[in-house]
Chains A and B, each alone.
Chain A
Amino acid sequence: MAFNIKVNGNTQSVDVDGDTPLLWVLRDVLGMTGTKFGCGMALCGACTVHVDGVATRSCITAIESIGSSAITTIEAVGATAAGAKIQKAWLDREVVQCGYCQSGQIMSASALLASNPHPTDSDIDDAMSGNICRCGTYVRIREAIRQAAQSTGQGG
């Protein structure tokens, strides 16, 4: 059946089964490939998007559960204050390697920063441990989140 979903500020109409995960609607129906497939079971975080600002694993989020909630993806997270800071810190700290998991990492980190401008290391562990990076960029992810949090403190 048809669903109207709000993605990055635009309302889109898609005709799929109600139990179709949001991930595939984004990637295959709407052609927004920035959000990645990693496991299909919410074990790796590669598919993370924001649903009303909350970091959400799109691979297990049925399209019928979204209703009028606002979805934000990696393609538009840079338009949010926290997302822009996180993306800048990611570039400054040279976080990425293969880069495949980084959309999800950035979505988790920017949701963390938006809700908690000054996360402790333990807050970072809690928010980020659901996101696997096979290239092992964790050291730099932590540094980048700390840097972005500092720029928050300076009102940047």
Chain B
Amino acid sequence: MIRNHVVSRASNTSLSRRRLLQAGTAAGGGLILSVFLPFPNHRSQAAAEDGFAPNAFVRIGSDGQVVLTMPYVEMGQGTYTSIPMLIAEELEVNPQQVRLEHAPPNEKLYANPLLGVQATGNSNAIRGAWKPLREAGATARIILVAAAAARWSVDPASCRAQDGEVVHPPTGRRLKYGELATEAAKMPVPAGVTLKAPADFKLIGTPAKRLDAPAKVNGTAVYGIDARPPGVKIATLAQSPVFGGRVKSVDDAAAKAVKGVRQIVRLDDAVAVVADHMGAAKKGLAALKIEWDDGPHANLVTADVARELERATLGSGAVAQSIGDADKAMASAATKIEATYQVPFLAHATMEPMNCTVHMRWDACEIWIGSQAVARVQAMAAKAAGLPPEKVIVHNHLVGGGFGRRLEADGAVRAVEIAKHVDGPVKVVWTREEDIQHDMYRPYWFDRISAGLNEQGRPVAWKNRFAGSSVIARWLPPGFKDGLDPDSTEGAIDLVYDLPNFHVEFVRAEPLGIPTAFWRSVGPSHNVFVTESFIDELAAAAKQDAVAYRRALLDKSPRARAVLDLAAEKAGWGQALPKGSGRGVSLQSAFGSYQAYVAEVEVSKQGTVRVRRVVCAVDCGTVVNPDTVEAQIQSGIMFGATAALYGEISLKSGRVEQSNFDTYQVLRMNEAPAIDVHIVKSAEPPGGMGETGTSAIVPAIANAIFAATGKRLRKMPIDAGVLKQAA
């Protein structure tokens, strides 16, 4: 059960060595060993101040229980299974013996080495943890062995760690880790540790059972929305339907008369109904008569946003990458090809609607939430509550879908604003309609791209200028420098192809009247669609096979070429398909992983598209849990195919037009393609896998539609009207 593995911990626990040791003693089961964890890129002030301080990632109790304070959250990507494998591999314990605790908010201790902030995103949990957590396990193992050797007065080299014990083979003596924990705590910590060679891995690279699965199949898993502090009331809300609007007037007489409704909370730009249960809160909400002042964006339509972005691509932008002389090469090219591409705003539509439970007291605030970024929740909630951050206690929970939505703290802020008016704890639950209409959206992007081909059809010039929102500029301001951020351009630069004259510019253009945020596969969600569709256009213009054309440009990218070859072979590339069907390929290097996808689609006479099969070849470096890698590819494909087929958030009169799963459709079981995954064996460091499928599948589908129909789709989502055959 998840409750046995994951314990939510309050944020106000001191993390000093002394306090942890005391807490271990107080907990009764004996002393707790805290381990010094060497953390590259780790800027722990605690370590600096105490000189030789632990940072509390790993504790071993006298009962032998290994406790890992978990810096990343589980949102389906399998982190709760793969991270314990890293520690268990070096510590020589069964991963099932490793219990996880959500890390409390503390940027100094738990910052993700790649992001520099405490967050789970950008497919980097395994990439960030790969070295430090194996080192933590190895360090713990070495001092446990040292403790045993000291007790037996033998040379540590004559002892061995295995299955949670230290054994002394010459005498057959053995001691469990729990029996050694107290003494080990006093052992000197080795300055450096040697990690296992990949050939010696026992766990890494083998399929592991998900530790979070049992609780998720029997209904006991606890998500943020399941938090039930004693006396909790349930609230739901209506926010200004136009972003930036305000409440003009509220008639709440009918709402107050609803059985179970306790209170109406009026805010500047939202109204909440507080009730005994969500049924009463929703009924009360429906009975409210709210007049809105729509504010400055009352007439906004999506076309306005697109027009602004298109205009932005006509100017100049920040140069993201420039190789050779693209202008000169373009001028002398035999053929010039130009295109514009557009991708829409998208909602996250996590299955667990946005929610947050808050108990405001006069001097403190307690929060129950499922978040990808608890430190951000703490900081922003503190500001909203008018309290110092240390007075805000955050209990993190399982995340019922993140996809970037739960990197934001807007929901926690809103819940605090409501809770300030409520006595006792209140759980604020967004209806699905509010969740979709008050998301923070995947940005709309507009791309202007061109290439010059030589006589043989090979690209000699490549130019791309695209405009859209920089989420980093808002979310992590130091990450936006000189008009650029690393996310917006990923997938548009550092291409795997040999392109001698290459010039890419980014124009940051923030849309007014609609908030933007990270969305699964972030920058590549748009860049890979554009570049992989456009390279397909070049192949078609050169009258060459789409795979062969790409392959000829991959002399400098052997890993990319290997996945392309493998996908083409496994997909039966080049074999005939029935009329109306087609195969499309995409090749992607993003998040540290290489992938090639071949999608097979069927396009009906009415223009409806059915994705039948997807063949994937993946090189994600060292594989920690192959079952999770396969699951994430399957998942990313469904998520990306949903976006390609249906995904669009549009604005009319400043309002989001979509509201629930009828107007914001999601791929269903009867539409799901078959998926074949082929993983390339590799000793490279692990690459990210949580997002890669989402960006890679979209151009594969678009290119397959081109193969099936001859129609090039340069705007997502797929418009059946364009593909419909004349009667």
Q: Which residues of A contact B (CB under 8 A)?
A: 16-17, 19-21, 23-25, 27-29, 31-41, 43-44, 46, 73-75, 78, 87, 90-91, 94-103, 106, 124-126, 128-142
Pairs A–B under 8 Å by Cβ, sample size 25: A17-B279, A17-B280, A20-B280, A25-B279, A28-B234, A33-B228, A34-B220, A36-B352, A37-B278, A37-B353, A40-B282, A41-B432, A75-B218, A87-B217, A87-B218, A91-B209, A95-B213, A95-B217, A96-B217, A98-B76, A98-B350, A98-B399, A129-B668, A134-B350, A136-B635
Indicate if the CB atoms of A132 and B432 lie closer than 8 Å.
no
Indicate if the CB atoms of A132 and B672 lie closer than 8 Å.
no
Given A37-B353, A75-B219, A136 and B661 contact (CB-CB distance below 8 Å): no
User: Apart from A17-B260, A21-B279, A99-B216, what are 5 other A-B pairs with CB-CB below 8 Å?
Assistant: A16-B277, A24-B277, A33-B219, A100-B223, A139-B675
Contact of A41 among B283, B402, B631, B660 (CB under 8 A): B660
Please list the 4 inter-chain residue pairs (A to B) with the smallest Cβ-Cβ separation, ordered nearest first.
A34-B219, A136-B638, A100-B400, A97-B76
- Report A59 CB to chain B, min CB distance, Å: 10
- CB of B450 within 8 Å of the partner chain: no
Report B262-301 residues with CB < 8 Å from chain A CB: 276-280, 282-283
Report B589-646 residues with CB < 8 Å from chain A CB: 627, 631, 634-639, 642
Report B520-543 residues with CB < 8 Å from chain A CB: none
Indicate if the CB atoms of A141 and B669 lie closer than 8 Å.
yes
Set of chain B residues within 8 Å of A74, measured between Cβ atoms? 218-219
- CB of B429 within 8 Å of the partner chain: yes
- CB of B493 within 8 Å of the partner chain: no
CA distance A10 to B209 in the complex (A): 34
CA distance A29 to B674 in the complex (A): 42
Contact of B209 among A94, A98, A139 (CB under 8 A): A94
CA distance A98 to B401 in the complex (A): 6
- CB of B259 within 8 Å of the partner chain: yes
- Report A97 CB to chain B, min CB distance, Å: 3
Set of chain B residues within 8 Å of A130, measured between Cβ atoms? 668
Chain A residue nearest in CB terms to B666: A132
Indicate if the CB atoms of A97 and B277 lie closer than 8 Å.
no
- CB of B582 within 8 Å of the partner chain: no
Set of chain B residues within 8 Å of A102, measured between Cβ atoms? 216-217
- Report A49 CB to chain B, min CB distance, Å: 11
Size of B's binding interface in residues, CB under 8 A: 67
- CB of B384 within 8 Å of the partner chain: no
Set of chain B residues within 8 Å of A139, measured between Cβ atoms? 634, 672, 674-675
Chain A residue nearest in CB terms to B352: A100
Report B90-135 residues with CB < 8 Å from chain A CB: none
- CB of B7 within 8 Å of the partner chain: no
Set of chain B residues within 8 Å of A46, measured between Cβ atoms? 351
CA distance A19 to B283 in the complex (A): 9
Contact of B669 among A40, A41, A135, A142 (CB under 8 A): A142
Indicate if the CB atoms of B280 and A136 lie closer than 8 Å.
no
Chain B residue nearest in CB terms to A145: B669
CA distance A35 to B218 in the complex (A): 10
- Report B526 CB to chain A, min CB distance, Å: 20
Indicate if the CB atoms of A39 and B661 lie closer than 8 Å.
yes
- CB of B466 within 8 Å of the partner chain: no
Chief secondary structure at chain B's binding surface: loop
Given A20-B277, A41-B660, A100-B400, A91 and B666 contact (CB-CB distance below 8 Å): no
Indicate if the CB atoms of B218 and A34 lie closer than 8 Å.
yes
Indicate if the CB atoms of A135 and B76 lie closer than 8 Å.
yes
Indicate if the CB atoms of B220 and A134 lie closer than 8 Å.
no
CA distance A73 to B627 in the complex (A): 29
Indicate if the CB atoms of A96 and B213 lie closer than 8 Å.
yes
Indicate if the CB atoms of A100 and B219 lie closer than 8 Å.
no
CA distance A20 to B260 in the complex (A): 11
Report B204-262 residues with CB < 8 Å from chain A CB: 209-210, 212-223, 225-226, 228, 234, 258-260
CA distance A23 to B277 in the complex (A): 10
- Report A92 CB to chain B, min CB distance, Å: 9
Report B44-93 residues with CB < 8 Å from chain A CB: 74-78
Given A74-B219, A96-B216, A36 and B669 contact (CB-CB distance below 8 Å): no
- Report B214 CB to chain A, min CB distance, Å: 7
Set of chain B residues within 8 Å of A97, measured between Cβ atoms? 76-78, 631, 635
Given A134-B639, A140-B631, A91 and B214 contact (CB-CB distance below 8 Å): yes
CA distance A33 to B258 in the complex (A): 24
- CB of B670 within 8 Å of the partner chain: yes
- CB of B349 within 8 Å of the partner chain: yes
CA distance A60 to B276 in the complex (A): 19
- CB of B398 within 8 Å of the partner chain: yes
- CB of B403 within 8 Å of the partner chain: yes
- Report A112 CB to chain B, min CB distance, Å: 11
CA distance A145 to B110 in the complex (A): 40
- CB of B495 within 8 Å of the partner chain: no
CA distance A45 to B169 in the complex (A): 57
Report B173-225 residues with CB < 8 Å from chain A CB: 209-210, 212-223, 225
Chain B residue nearest in CB terms to A90: B217
Given A17-B280, A28-B278, A103 and B219 contact (CB-CB distance below 8 Å): yes
Given A34-B219, A142-B669, A99 and B279 contact (CB-CB distance below 8 Å): no
Indicate if the CB atoms of B638 and A138 lie closer than 8 Å.
yes
- Report B199 CB to chain A, min CB distance, Å: 26
Set of chain A residues within 8 Å of B403, measured between Cβ atoms? 134
Indicate if the CB atoms of B216 and A128 lie closer than 8 Å.
no
Q: Which of B218, B349, B432, B666 has the most CB of A within 10 A?
A: B218
Contact of A38 among B78, B260, B432, B672 (CB under 8 A): B432
Chain A residue nearest in CB terms to B236: A40
- Report A131 CB to chain B, min CB distance, Å: 7
Indicate if the CB atoms of B277 and A135 lie closer than 8 Å.
no
- CB of B15 within 8 Å of the partner chain: no
